[in-house]
Amino acid sequence: MSADIKQSKSLLQNAFIRIINEKISLIALIIVAIYFLVAILTAANILASDWGKEVGASYMAPSSVSYFGTDIFGRSVLQKTIKATETAVVIGVVVSAISIVIGTTLGMIAGYFGGFVDEIVVWFYTTFSSIPGVMLLVAIAFILGKGTTTVFLSLGLTSWVGLCRIVRAEVMKHKEREYIHAANAIGATHGRKLWKHILPNISHLLIINFTQTFDSAIKAEVVLSFLGLGVVGRPSWGTMIDDSKLELARGVWWQLAAATLAMFLIVLAFNILGDALRDALDPKLKGK
Amino acid sequence: MNLYSYIFRRLLYIIPVLLGVCLVIFVLFNLVAPDPAYTLLGKHATLKQIADLHHELGTDKPYLFQYLDTVKTAFTFNFGYSWTSKQNIWEMIKAGAGPSLAITGPLFVLSNIFAISLALLVAFYRGKLIDKVVLILSIAGMSIPSLAVVLFGQWFFAFKLGLFEISGYENGFPNFIPYVILPILLYVVISFGGDTRFYRTVILDEAYQDYVRTARSKGLSELRVMFKHVLKNSMIPILTQIIIQIPGLILGLLFAESFFSIPGLGAMTINAINNSDFPVIKAMTIMSAVGFIVFNVITDVLYTVVDPRMKLK
């Protein structure tokens, strides 16, 4: 009975086990993994590399030649939808990254230092959240002009407030804990305490936030495309949905159907995964 | 601290936030945005024309004064004139508010009643089949892009089946009804998922509190526990959620208004974006922010009046 001590599992390992043990969240995880795989394969030009090629007549109905029909230029809608997966995943990841960097940095600084710094940060995010999301998104995107950078920046700059609030509140609690006092006692610097000690303890919040921001970024890309401020030069689900506003009256429904279905599946999967992650990582928030 | 001084302090806090909002808007529209002269005068403008325009728009003033101009509009709502239609923007907003409210008003009432009753129902039967079905439906509903719902709905119900007007609008109370029914129904579908899920969570949060167990152990019926105890306590977050939607009503619906040709503020914003009409977008941004700030304060104050447990900080 001596070497029987098992190494305990980390929070993340535990969460992972809980997710793959639940049928629904396991399916969601697999769907997300497939989408990411497709995105990587398209980025490497292995999949849908000739999405811009004409495969048939303009607006050909779905058939065995092209399972989702063709668009106005005779391009395969299926290929476009697959190529657009790359666009969506890139948008989701970049936007979440921007929002997590801003939200975490500001939230940690405010929560840790408190006082005047805190007041400034709180004022800053109150200001940002006082402009209704859609209007701020529209204003930023409109001013930066059309393009992929605009999509990244406008979505990233409008989605960090929620995380900043939560991180700030959590850091405020953590900085009074014993382990921080202990770090203090051995002379750890502020940077070390924040980076090495507090950040790992609040990292679950970032993971949960990632799933939410990813979802809302993909959904908001449709809004930007509709306003003519979306991505250019490559297909996206948003532009495909937006294109179909002129096509539906002519009975061309397949572009709308393909893009909506592709988007629906990953957003749904991320929604379910997000809930499962939250339940697994943060028991206090269970069911919310 | 007593209630009145709290309310007073809360009102005072409007000022720095409003100044901050104006700062964000100033930075966006006056510093980051490209020089409007090129949009307005084209490529072949003379230097004199450009200088005159800068003077007319006030963009030749020092930045501090430009910022103060922005602050001034937030209080006076004197937004100047649209670049494309040359109309007074405040008049345009007044004209567009009616049609927007004709959709968002009924939508606000309907969607909230629908979501709250559904949330109550599933909270009552929590964990049972109906709860699971509604939860799955709401998550699925949240995952459909709203633009797709509007496009499909208009095409299918109005164009294909001919059940509703495809587009258009008439002013006046009974006249506008046929035009707004479909957009309202589509948006009830769009908002149902998120709303129901939110209200369900709020109600369930209360359903597991100690006082609920006490009420049950006294022998009260489940129905009485639900309505008399749980609902009453979850009313605070529910009311907050409802009130905070109000300033958004005036913004109208971005997608629906332009698809259904309803001359509201949503359609006005879209037009302004398509025509690079800076002052209109700026005006809508300022107005919505002011509305949001004011209603946020109202919610906070109501919170403290309604709930005696709230600490006045």
Q: pLDDT tens, A201-237?
A: 898 889 889 999 999 999 988 888 888 888 888 889 9
Predicted local distance difference test score (pLDDT) of residue B158: 84
Band (pLDDT 50/70/90 cuts) for residue A167 is very high
**Percent residues over pLDDT 70 in chain B:** 98
Report, in angstroms and rounded to the nearest whole number, the Rg of chain B calculated over CA atoms.
Answer: 24
Give per-residue pLDDT as tens, A245-256.
Answer: 888 878 788 888
Mean pLDDT of A160-170: 93
CA angle A134, A29, A100 (to 5 degrees): 40
To the nearest whole number, what is the mean pLDDT of chain A?
A: 86
Q: Residue B297 is encoded by which pair of tokens?
A: 């304060």
Within 10 Å of residue B172's Cβ, how many Cβ atoms? Answer: 9
Cβ of A288 within 8 Å of Cβ of B201? The answer is: yes
- B32 chain-A contacts, CB cut-off 8 A: 143-144
Residue B135 has pLDDT above 70, yes or no: yes
Mean pLDDT of B199-213: 87
With a CB cutoff of 8 Å and minimum separation 6, the contacts of A44 are: none
Q: Cα–Cα distance between B192 and B180 in angstroms, integer?
A: 18
HSE-CB at A17 with a 13 A cutoff on CA atoms is: 6
- Judged by a CB distance cut-off of 8 A, whether residue A250 touches chain B is no
Q: Cα–Cα distance between B91 and B87 in angstroms, integer?
A: 7
ipTM: 0.82
**Which residues 89-118 of chain A have a CB within 8 Å of chain B?**
none
Count, residues in chain A: 288
Cβ of A260 within 8 Å of Cβ of B143? The answer is: no
How far, CA to CA in Å, does A219 sit from each of A142, A239, A251? 18, 12, 25
HSE-CB at B87 with a 13 A cutoff on CA atoms is: 12
Band (pLDDT 50/70/90 cuts) for residue A98 is very high
How far, CA to CA in Å, does A128 sit from each of A73, A131, A163? 42, 6, 13
Q: How far from each other are the two terminal CA atoms of chain B, in whole angstroms?
A: 8
Predicted local distance difference test score (pLDDT) of residue B181: 86
Cβ of B151 within 8 Å of Cβ of A244? The answer is: yes
Q: Cα–Cα distance between A213 and A210 in angstroms, integer?
A: 5
Predicted local distance difference test score (pLDDT) of residue A185: 92
Predicted local distance difference test score (pLDDT) of residue A59: 77
Give per-residue pLDDT as tens, B104-133.
Answer: 999 999 999 999 999 988 888 888 899 889
HSE-CB at A200 with a 13 A cutoff on CA atoms is: 9
pTM of the model: 0.85
Interface probe for B, chosen from A119, A125, A143, A153 (most Cβ of B below 10 Å), is A143
Q: Cα–Cα distance between B230 and A141 in angstroms, integer?
A: 43
Residue A21 backbone phi and psi in degrees, to 5: -85, -20
To the nearest whole number, what is the mean pLDDT of chain B?
A: 85
Closest by Cβ to B288, choosing from A127, A135, A142: A135
Mean pLDDT of A100-108: 95
Torsion sign, CA atoms B220, B225, B227, B229: positive
Residue A11 has pLDDT above 50, yes or no: yes
Q: Cα–Cα distance between A89 and A84 in angstroms, integer?
A: 9
With a CB cutoff of 8 Å and minimum separation 6, the contacts of B216 are: B222, B225
Mean pLDDT of B289-305: 84
- Domains, chain B, ordered by start: 89-274 (1.10.3720.10)
Residue A288 has pLDDT above 70, yes or no: no
Predicted local distance difference test score (pLDDT) of residue A284: 60
Cβ of A267 within 8 Å of Cβ of B269? The answer is: no
Q: Residue B227 is encoded by which pair of tokens?
A: 């309505």
CA angle B35, B36, B37 (to 5 degrees): 90
SS3 assignment, position A52: coil
Interface probe for B, chosen from A226, A227, A256 (most Cβ of B below 10 Å), is A226
Within 10 Å of residue B254's Cβ, how many Cβ atoms? Answer: 24
3-state class percentages of chain B: helix first, strand second, coil last, to nearest 5:
75, 0, 20
Predicted local distance difference test score (pLDDT) of residue A35: 94
Number of helices (H) and strands (E), helices first, in chain B?
Answer: 15, 0
Closest by Cβ to A248, choosing from B33, B155, B296: B155
Within 10 Å of residue B241's Cβ, how many Cβ atoms? Answer: 17
**Percent residues over pLDDT 90 in chain A:** 39
Predicted local distance difference test score (pLDDT) of residue A100: 96
**Which residues 188-227 of chain A have a CB within 8 Å of chain B?**
219, 222-223, 226-227
Give per-residue pLDDT as tens, B247-269.
Answer: 888 887 877 888 888 888 988 98
Cβ of A256 within 8 Å of Cβ of B152? The answer is: yes
Closest by Cβ to B24, choosing from A128, A237, A242: A128
3-state class percentages of chain A: helix first, strand second, coil last, to nearest 5:
75, 0, 25
Element (H, E) at A155: helix A148-157
Q: Tell me how close the Cα of A124 comes to any Cα of chain B, in angstroms.
A: 7
Within 10 Å of residue B42's Cβ, how many Cβ atoms? Answer: 9
Q: Residue B154 is encoded by which pair of tokens?
A: 């208009």
| Under 8 Å between Cβ of A108 and A194 | yes
Closest residue in chain B to residue A122, using alpha carbons only: B17
